[in-house]
Amino acid sequence: MYDYRNNIKIILNKTDADDKSLANSLNAIKAILAMAEGGTAGKAALKKEAPKPKKMANTQSIAQRNADLKQFKQLLMGLTELIETPGDEAAKKKSLEALHKITFVPGVGKRYGNVLGKLDQAIQKSKTTTEAVNKKIFEDALKPKEEPKRDYRKGRRYTVIRTLSGCNLINDNGQIVFRIKESQIHSLNLKSGDIVEALEDKDNPNYEAEVLRVVGYRKLRARDYDPIEEFRYAVVQGKTGQLAITRNIKGEKLRIRGKEVTIPVDSSYYQGENIHLEDGSIVDLAWYTGDVRIKKNPSDAVQIRWIYQVDPPKKSDLSYKKKDKSKKDNAEELTKLDMNLHYQRVGIAIGNNQNEGILEGIVTRYNGIPIPIDAFEGKKKIMERQIKDLDIVILMTAYAAHDATWNIQEFASKYGVKFAVSSSKGYRSFERALYRAENGLPAYEGTQSIEYKEAETK
């Protein structure tokens, strides 16, 4: 407000007693007061005319904003996965859930409703492509496997004496120190005379000792152990309650002392939590060469040493055909795929001879020539020379090393060798991979639908 006091004092000091001076002083004072009142009124009017804009209240909480940003991030992640793998159901579900929640954010639906609607339809129409499936399967197959940690423990040395199932570990005095189960040593492929290092396992109630490694071999005298004969990769055939073994996967008959025999199998005796003996199971048989029961009743002497954990044929894949009535034996044979390899050279890329006999038998079954390839520790140059001379190569990713997998695919493409991948350890998966390679079908099975034609039964 204007300070008028000094002006009024000056006017009053100069005012005389006559009427004219008093009148002039009064008019001057009124003017000063008017000026003072006018400045205050003008500022008040200016304030009324131009009020300050009020800030809009932010009604959205921090938690709500964070939730919206989280949905937006989820939408971007889902779309990224969908671009990398078109038609992936998990990615589609993630993207659609985030998209629907974003449309409820205030203002988003009104401004971008049309665009979000088109994006919704595009996500739903996304379909899986063969290239995407093959890429994903190949990437999964090539994920680096965890290398087992090296065991630096040192144990005492013992000599192995093989039994029908498992083995005995004896000391230098010929005394049995430990009895080892088959499940502990089957992968080591131990034989009588092997020298191993082992440690007593007091904490495990199921095992007496743990075999650490094989360190040598010594030739045993004939009187120190009982010789054992094996019949590996035998095929269990028949219906439940009537299972028997007559041959192996290569079609070779079971012979004991030169005679063909049939060994009945009691499936209930071998059933367990992780063991299921049924039609199509693959097993190893063992018996003592000098067992006196072999001559009269071989089934009493022969024992199943090992049951392989492979994919048995599904019931729908089994068909039984009866032979001519003139023939006495009514053998039951597994359904074959409609395929004839015509003595083509088939490379089986596996490592460390794992299930090699089973896979070779499948190739032989379709008139092919099996050739194993070391896909675990094989050298690149040697591998290239092997693949160069092949007609077909089948890669078992479960038994192959990371680097070898790339090399095998590269050499197969370089030399025009038919190529397919079996991502499972099962022999049915290998058989289907062989069929795809021979018929020019996709190398990877994946989730796509592939028709495997079966051979007609006569």
Query: Does some domain include residue 261?
Result: yes
pLDDT < 70 positions in the chain: 1-4, 36-60, 133-134, 136-138, 140-143, 145-152, 269-275, 310-334, 351-355, 375-378, 398-403, 425, 446-447, 457-458
| Residue 378, domain CATH | 3.40.50.2300
Give the pLDDT of residue 70: 83
Query: Does some domain include residue 55?
Result: no
How many structural domains comprise the chain? 5
Domain termination site, one of 183, 201, 224: 224
Query: Does some domain include residue 90?
Result: yes
Query: Does some domain include residue 281?
Result: yes
330 — phi, psi (to 5°)?
-105, 75
Beta 392-396 vs 156-162: how paired, if at all?
Answer: unpaired
CB 177 within 8 A of CB 171: yes
- Confidence (pTM): 0.41
Other beta carbons within 10 angstroms of residue 24's beta carbon come to: 15
Quick one: 33 and 70 in the same domain?
no
Question: What span, in angstroms and rounded, lies between the C-alpha atoms of 298 and 4?
Answer: 135
DSSP assigned state of 75: H
Domain termination site, one of 128, 146, 175: 128
Give the pLDDT of residue 354: 56
Query: Does some domain include residue 454?
Result: no
Query: Does some domain include residue 327?
Result: no
DSSP assigned state of 315: G
Quick one: 366 and 380 in the same domain?
yes
- What does the pLDDT look like over 225-239, one tens digit per residue? 999 999 988 888 888
Quick one: 80 and 36 in the same domain?
no
Query: Does some domain include residue 420?
Result: yes
Listed in sequence order, the residues at least 6 apart from 206 whose beta carbon sits closer than 8 Å to its beta carbon are 181
Quick one: 164 and 243 in the same domain?
no
DSSP3 helix / strand / coil % (the chain, rounded to 5): 40, 20, 40
Torsion of Cα atoms, 200 then 203 then 207 then 210, to 10°: -40
Quick one: 171 and 253 in the same domain?
no
Query: Does some domain include residue 33?
Result: yes
> The domain containing residue 18 runs over which residues?
5-45
Quick one: 233 and 215 in the same domain?
no
Give the pLDDT of residue 53: 53
Give the pLDDT of residue 149: 64
Quick one: 373 and 311 in the same domain?
no
Question: What span, in angstroms and rounded, lies between the C-alpha atoms of 239 and 247?
Answer: 16
Other beta carbons within 10 angstroms of residue 394's beta carbon come to: 28
CA distances, 289 to each of 224, 225, 256, 311 (Å): 14, 11, 9, 32
Quick one: 81 and 106 in the same domain?
yes
Domain termination site, one of 89, 109, 128: 128
Give the pLDDT of residue 175: 92
Tokens linked to 95: 């993207």
Quick one: 375 and 410 in the same domain?
yes
Quick one: 307 and 381 in the same domain?
no
Greatest Cα-to-Cα distance within the chain, rounded to the nearest angstrom = 165
Quick one: 72 and 16 in the same domain?
no
Quick one: 249 and 194 in the same domain?
no
Q: Which amino acid is at 122?
A: A
